[in-house]
Amino acid sequence: GHPIAAFFVRKKPKEHGAKLAIEGLPKGETLEGKRVVIVEDVTTTGGSAMKAVESARETGAEVVLVLTMVDREEGATDTFGAAGLPFRSLYKASEFLKA
């Protein structure tokens, strides 16, 4: 019964318009003081998601979890572990690649 707010993080800000790294928030709203989850479709090393984590933190958000649909199991667990971030996946690549 409660809507979930969402935003997206660009790899780099657009050259025109608002030139923001984080977009999709309602006008006047920020991530300051908010607890957020970074969601990815597929995670390999975790590098892209860590950039999103850093962008969210720079705006004052508290990142409480990184969630991916598929973990390719190529280093993301270690990346997020080293950063002290909980990491969860719905599926792991090994579940699909079983012989």
State the average pLDDT over residues 54-64: 95
Residue 10's pLDDT is 86
Contact 49, 70 (CB under 8 A): no
Percent of the chain with pLDDT over 90: 73
pLDDT tens for each residue of 9-41: 987 766 665 657 898 998 889 999 999 999 999
What is the helix (H) or strand (E) element at residue 68, kind and residue range?
strand 62-71
CA angle 72, 37, 64 (to 5 degrees): 100
* pTM greater than the 0.85 cutoff: yes
